[in-house]
């Protein structure tokens, strides 16, 4: 059973004039950093952890006109903001060659309105690329990732409420779901804390996260890609990605299947009743998402 309390009330509507009145402006020094940069950040790959953002980032880095930092996930706008804008530009674009654009991948930005606000402050023209995966399978994949990471240390995974996922004795996927406070306060939504790493359920409310991005950015600066589409190697539309970020649209990358971790004999399975509870929880959010995308709901659970 899911232990977290379900949110019964719709989110409070924020008027655009109130929202944008709270957005800070860059300092003159920060504006000068942009002006002096040989290359500056043009796109961010966001989305859901275990959604396929790494696959997309690797694919995009194969285009000769795109530079991707070797830093992996930069996490500047959520955890590294204290390092300053100069550090961010250097770590993301410092090795960019002439004729290249640069961007980065940090799925966690999606979870924090503060992170999104910070992007809007420094990069109002930022292009967002958001990769989404069916939310129940995403939860299972995230849990397996933590279990595997702990197993490498010879330990088991233990999810503790209010803390980072940690390697310890005991722990199960049911405990992890039970401990998550997925009915969040406004302050928790604003937080850019790394404690969000242990969230499972909260990550799947995609439409709410997208709608907040669109409070800060116009619709033409948001591109949504489904994990399901990337699994269709023959039909996946690379050209639309190249056109979106402004590089040669005729270039073609040879695609490979998305990596799937091999199953183990002692792998924990999600109880069917919990799967159904999660599907019931996500169904209305999925419906809103696919209406927004103007697509048939391929995540319809038939409930």
Cα–Cα dist 94/69, whole Å: 8
Residue 279 has pLDDT above 70, yes or no: yes
**Average pLDDT of 284-295?**
96
- Check pLDDT > 70 for residue 6: no
Q: What is the pLDDT of residues 79-111, one digit of tens each?
A: 889 999 999 999 999 889 999 999 999 998 988
Give me the pLDDT at residue 2, please. 54
Could you give the 3-state DSSP secondary structure of residue 167? strand
- Whether 218 has a pLDDT exceeding 80, the answer reads yes
Q: Are 246 and 225 in contact (CB under 8 A)?
A: no
User: What is the reported pLDDT for 178?
Assistant: 66
Q: Is the pLDDT of residue 290 over 50?
A: yes
Residue 8 has pLDDT above 80, yes or no: no
Residue with the larger pLDDT of the pair 81 and 174: 81
Q: Report CA Rg, the chain.
A: 20
User: Using CA atoms, how far apart are residues 79 and 76, in angstroms rounded to an integer?
Assistant: 6
| 253 Cβ neighbours under 8 A, 6+ residues apart | 59, 62, 63, 238
pLDDT above 70 (res 14)? no
Between 24 and 182, the more confident residue is 24
Provide, rounded to the nearest whole percent, the portion of the chain with pLDDT above 90.
Answer: 46
pLDDT confidence of residue 193: 53
Given a cut of 70, whether residue 194 has pLDDT beyond it is: no
Cα(299)–Cα(289) distance, rounded to whole angstroms? 10
Torsion, Cα 213 218 76 143, to 10 degrees, reads: 40
Q: How many CA atoms does the CB half-sphere of 24 hold within 13 Å?
A: 12
Q: Which residue intervals of the chain are DSSP H helices?
A: 16-21, 28-36, 53-61, 85-93, 113-122, 135-151, 173-179, 186-190, 206-216, 227-230, 238-245, 272-293
Do residues 198 and 231 touch, judged by C-beta distance below 8 A?
no
What pLDDT does 21 receive? 47
Q: Is the pLDDT of residue 182 over 70?
A: no
User: For residue 42, what is the enclosing H or E element?
Assistant: strand 41-47
Ranges 66-70, 93-97, 217-221, most confident: 217-221
Higher pLDDT, 299 or 3: 299
Mean pLDDT over each residue of the chain, to the nearest integer: 80
Of 164, 48, 39, which is closest to residue 105 (Cα–Cα)?
48
* pLDDT tens-digit readout, 121-167: 999 999 999 999 999 999 888 877 777 666 665 555 555 444 444 54
pLDDT at 284 (0 to 100)? 94
Q: Say which residue, 71 or 138, is predicted with more confidence.
A: 138
Mean pLDDT of 224-237: 92
User: 16-135+203-293 has which fold?
Assistant: Rossmann fold (3.40.50)
Does residue 233 register a pLDDT over 90?
A: no
The pLDDT-based confidence of 201 (bands split at 50, 70, 90) is confident
């Amino acid at each position: 059973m899911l232990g977290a309390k379900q949110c019964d009330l719709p989110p409070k509507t924020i008027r655009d004039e109130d929202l944008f009145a709270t957005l800070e402006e860059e300092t003159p020094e920060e504006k000068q950093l942009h002006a002096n940069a040989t290359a500056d950040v043009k796109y961010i790959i966001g989305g859901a952890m275990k959604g396929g953002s790494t696959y997309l980032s690797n694919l995009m880095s194969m285009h000769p006109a795109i530079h991707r930092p070797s830093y992996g996930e930069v996490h500047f706008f959520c955890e590294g903001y204290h390092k300053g804008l100069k550090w961010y530009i250097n770590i993301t674009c410092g090795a960019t060659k002439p004729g290249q654009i640069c961007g980065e991948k940090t799925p966690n930005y999606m979870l924090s309105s503060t992170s999104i606000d910070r992007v809007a402050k420094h990069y109002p023209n930022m292009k967002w690329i958001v990769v989404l995966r069916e939310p129940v399978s995403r939860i299972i994949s995230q849990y397996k990732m933590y279990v595997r990471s702990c197993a490498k240390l010879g330990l088991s995974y233990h999810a503790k409420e209010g803390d980072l996922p940690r390697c310890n004795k005991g722990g199960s996927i049911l405990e992890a779901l039970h401990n998550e406070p997925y009915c969040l306060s406004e302050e928790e939504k604003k937080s850019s804390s790394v404690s969000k790493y242990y969230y499972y359920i909260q990550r799947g409310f995609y439409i709410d996260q997208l709608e907040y991005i669109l409070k800060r950015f116009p619709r033409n600066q948001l591109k949504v890609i489904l994990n399901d589409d990337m699994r269709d190697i023959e039909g996946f539309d690379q050209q639309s990605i190249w056109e979106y970020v402004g590089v040669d649209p005729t270039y073609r990358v040879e695609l490979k299947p998305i990596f799937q971790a091999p199953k183990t004999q002692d792998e924990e399975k999600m109880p069917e009743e919990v799967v159904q509870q999660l599907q019931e929880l996500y169904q209305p959010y999925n419906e809103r998402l696919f209406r927004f995308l103007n697509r048939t709901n391929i995540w319809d659970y038939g409930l």
